[in-house]
Amino acid sequence: MNCELAHERIVLAAYGELPDEQIHELDRHLTHCNACCEERDQLIALRTLAALHPTVEPSANLVARSRLRLEEALDALPPRRWYERWSLGIVNNFARLQAAPVAAALLLAVGVGAGSLGGFEYAQARAAQAASRAQLAEAPRVSASATAPRLTAPAPDSVTSISGVVRQPNSNLVEVSYNAVVPQHVQGSLDDPQIRQLLMLASEEAPSAGVRDDSVGLLAAECRAGGNCQADGVRDALMVALRYDRNDSVREKALQGLEPFVAQDLRVRDAVLEALLNDPAPRIRTEAINILEPVEADTSVRQVLYSVANSDRNPQIRTVSRQVLSRAPEIQ
């Protein structure tokens, strides 16, 4: 047995999935190979260490959220070509032919049982409907406004995705449409912590770039207007959008929302410096330079500007960086 095969069998043996005859062969190899024996001991130690930590159960909403994302990914797949559909149809027909005798017997048994049960259920349903009509006829009418449910914001863990964000014209009201298992929506002020939670969730997880753009735009505008952007984690959500969102407009709005905090929050300053160094959009890197102007005397800011002025692939950004550095002659 060579060491490559032994490595595969060590993993299977550690999890109790290796047949007995292969276990003896592996033991013989380990008696002569110190490297494989050491790897076996490390794997056993790793399993022992992992067993000391409790298993964290995922939230019940994870399956629904994953299912929605899977359906969106499947919808985005290109259609099958004609020969792929033809070959798949042949395979499916052959499988159905093999299972036909058993399936026919099962269908017959199920059909007899379902027919009997269906007739009984139908009779009971008709009787229940008749009783309900009688009760409705006798019940007093209630106005629609009195019976309409009050819309409340859900817990963030119960939300699978955000499907739309709309701000009412000339007001502070925001309407957020979200998906739990069925689409729902809630309305409230931008000052409402639950509305902010939904907007932050949309800024990170909404599959639509337009929804993320709307959410980040509202959060950024609130921060620029002097709203509380720290207590609820809004500032952190904007930094995540600036670093990781794939849409240029979303990242640009997140950068604009972080501008008021670049002088007082070192984490925000670091996020803006990362955007200056790594963002693929030239206009975002240029705007990052302008946002860093109040802290251009900072050592880390000057070092990044010096690096950009000498090595950035965009000549305009190199020029702007040199202009900023010209105001700090001591580092030249």
Is 145 within a domain? no
pLDDT attached to residue 332: 39
d(CA 250, CA 40): 48
Of 201, 229, 261, the domain-final residue: 261
Is 249 a residue whose pLDDT tops 90? Answer: yes
Is 293 within a domain? yes
pLDDT attached to residue 136: 42
Neighbouring-strand partners of residue 183: 179
Is 88 within a domain? no
- Indicate the burial class of 245 (C-beta count within 10 angstroms; 0-12, 13-18, 19 or more): buried
Token code pair at residue 144: 């629609």
> What is the edge-to-edge ordering of all strands in the sheet holding 183-189?
161-167, 173-179, 183-189
d(CA 232, CA 226): 14
Average pLDDT over residues 43-52: 74
Is 57 a residue whose pLDDT tops 90? Answer: no
If residue 30 lies in a helix (H) or strand (E), which one and from where to where?
helix 20-30
Same domain as 165, residue 215: yes
d(CA 241, CA 229): 14
d(CA 277, CA 297): 18
Is 99 within a domain? no
Please state whether the predicted TM-score (pTM) of the whole model is above 0.85: no
Is 148 within a domain? no
Same domain as 255, residue 280: no
Same domain as 234, residue 176: yes
Q: How confident is the model at residue 253 (pLDDT cuts 50, 70, 90)?
A: very high
Same domain as 234, residue 210: yes
The total number of structural domains that make up the chain: 3
Is 237 a residue whose pLDDT tops 70? Answer: yes
d(CA 315, CA 64): 48
Q: How confident is the model at residue 225 (pLDDT cuts 50, 70, 90)?
A: confident
Same domain as 253, residue 329: no
Same domain as 294, residue 222: no
Average pLDDT over residues 17-38: 84
Token code pair at residue 216: 């980040």
Same domain as 306, residue 223: no
Token code pair at residue 174: 């925001």
- The single-letter code of the amino acid at 202 is A
Average pLDDT over residues 244-258: 91
Same domain as 255, residue 166: yes
Average pLDDT over residues 69-84: 71
Is 91 within a domain? no
Domain of residue 322 covers 276-332
Of 204, 231, 261, the domain-final residue: 261
Is 209 within a domain? yes
If residue 278 lies in a helix (H) or strand (E), which one and from where to where?
helix 266-278
Higher per-residue pLDDT: 65 or 6: 6
d(CA 196, CA 215): 9
Of 261, 285, 305, the domain-final residue: 261
Same domain as 194, residue 284: no
Q: At what angle do helices 209-224 and 193-205 cross, to 10 degrees?
A: 130
Is 113 within a domain? no
Same domain as 286, residue 255: no
Same domain as 232, residue 172: yes
Same domain as 180, residue 226: yes
Residues 6+ apart with CB under 8 A from 206: 161, 162, 163, 212, 215
